[in-house]
Amino acid sequence: MAKYEIKDGVCIIPEGTTEIESYAFFDKGALTNIVIPDSVTEIGDFAFCECTGLTSVVIPGSVTEIGDHAFFGCTGLTSIEIPTSVTEIGDHAFLGCTGLTSVVIPDSVTKIGDDAFSDCCALTSVVISNSVTKIGDDAFSDCRALTSIKVAEDNPKYDSRGGCNAIIETESNKLLFGCQSTVIPDSVAEIGGAFSNCCALTSIEIPTSVTEIGVWAFESCGLTSVVIPDSVTKIGDYAFSDCCALTSVVIPNSVTKIGHNAFSDCRALTSIKVAEDNPKYDSRGGCNAIIETESNKLLFGCQSTVIPDSVAEIGRGAFSNCCALTSIEIPTSVTEIGDFAFFGCTGLTSVVIPSSVTEIGDHAFFGCTGLTNAEIHSPEIEFGIRVLCECENLKSIKVPAKKTDYYKKRLPEELHDLIVEMEPKKKTKKK
C-alpha cells in the first residue's frame, strides 16, 4: 500500500496515482483536507473511513467508482460533489456522514449501494437522476432531517410521482424511502422500511391501495396515532416498534399477519383495538391488547391492558418498555410468559405469577427497576436467563412452601438471598 504524507491536516495525492487503495486513510482523524489528482479512477473500500476531521472533498472527473465504506463515518463532511464520471456508489459509502446536508446523484450513476447514505442525519434533500437503476437496501434509511426527495421524471425504474417526496419502485408500486413531508400516493401497494427513525413524522395517511406495511416501515417515528386501512393484510416485523409517542392503534379486519415486535416499545399506547370481525386477531372484551385468536396468545399490550382470563400465553415483548404500566393481573389461564414480556417495565411495583404458569422466558422481567416484590405460586416452573435481574429495588421473591431450594437451582445466584417462602394462608374458623 502506498504511504501518503499528511502535513498540517492536508494530504496531496501525487500526480499519476490511479487508485486510492482500500484503507489508505482509515481512521486518520488528523486529515482535514485531501487533494485528489485527475489521474485517480477509483477510491477503494474504506479509503477514508472514520476520517472524522475531513470537512470537504473534491472528487475529480476521472473517478468512476466510490468503494464500499469509502467515506463511512466521516462525521465532519458537510458537502460532497459527485462528478459525472462516477457510475457506482458502493455499499455504506457515506454511511454515518452526519454532517452531510444534501446530495445530488449525477446522471452517470447507475447503482447506489446498500446503506450508501444511511444515518446521514443532517441530510435534508436528495435528487435521484434518471440513470439510477439500482438502489440498495436501506440506502437512505435513518436520514431523519430529510424533507425533499426527488426522482428524475424519466427514470425507468423509480419515481416520486405527484411530487410525493418519496422514492417508489415504479413496477411494484412499493414505497422504498420516505421522509417527514411524504404524502403517500393512492397508487402505492406496499410500504417498505421507508420511514425508519423519521422522528419528525407525526402523522401519515395510509391510502386504501396499500396491502402491506413492511419490516421497520415506521420504526422509531414520531407518530401519535395510526389508522390502518381495510386493504392492509400484512404488518411486518418491527413495523411500528419504538414509536414512543403512539397513543392508539386500530387493526382492521383485513389484517391476517402481524410480524414480530410490530408494536413493541410503544410506551405511550393507551388504546389498542382490533375489528370485531377480524378472523385472526382480537381485542376481546375491550382488553386493549392484540390477541392471536386461535392460540389465545397475547401479542401486544399497553399500560391500560386488562389480560382476559382466556389468555394462555403472554408473548415475546408484549409489554416491553411499557414504563407507564404500574400493575398487571396475570390470570390463572396463563401457562407461559414469553421472552422480554415485561422487559424494562420500570413502573411495575409488584407482580403475582399464578400457579398455572410453567415457563417464564429470557429477560421476562429484566430491568423492572420499580419492582419491589414478586410472588411466584408455581410448584414447578422453568426459567429463561436473567428473568428478574437488574430489578435493583426487588426486596423479595416469594415462592411456595418448601420450594426455596427448588427455586434457587433455577434462578441466578444473585437472587438467592431474596427467595423466601410464602406465609401460609390463615384458615378461617367455622362459626
Owning domain of residue 414 = 312-423
Count how many domains the chain has: 3
- 1 pLDDT band, cuts 50/70/90, is low
> What count of residues does the chain have?
431
CB neighbours (10 Å) of residue 101? 14
Q: Is the pLDDT of residue 430 over 80?
A: no
Indicate whether 80 and 198 sit together in one domain: no
pLDDT tens by residue, 137-182: 999 999 999 999 999 999 999 999 999 999 999 999 999 999 999 9
Q: Is the pLDDT of residue 100 over 70?
A: yes
In the predicted model, what is the mean pLDDT of residues 418-428? 80
Indicate whether 189 and 277 sit together in one domain: yes
- How far lies 367's CA from each of 47, 267, 273, 298, in Å? 42, 15, 28, 21
Indicate whether 251 and 160 sit together in one domain: yes
Indicate whether 97 and 226 sit together in one domain: no
Indicate whether 159 and 261 sit together in one domain: yes
Tell me, yes or no, if the pTM score tops 0.85: yes
pLDDT tens by residue, 266-290: 999 999 999 999 999 999 999 999 9
CATH code, domain with 167: 3.80.10.10
- 343 pLDDT band, cuts 50/70/90, is very high
Indicate whether 343 and 254 sit together in one domain: no
- 426 pLDDT band, cuts 50/70/90, is low
Look at residue 37 and give its three-state secondary structure: coil
- Let me know if residue 136 belongs to a domain: no
- 428 pLDDT band, cuts 50/70/90, is low
* Cβ–Cβ under 8 Å, residues 369 and 346: yes
pLDDT tens by residue, 18-28: 999 999 999 99
Indicate whether 13 and 112 sit together in one domain: yes
Indicate whether 158 and 244 sit together in one domain: yes
Indicate whether 269 and 364 sit together in one domain: no
- Let me know if residue 290 belongs to a domain: no
- Let me know if residue 301 belongs to a domain: no
Give residue 104's pLDDT.
Answer: 85
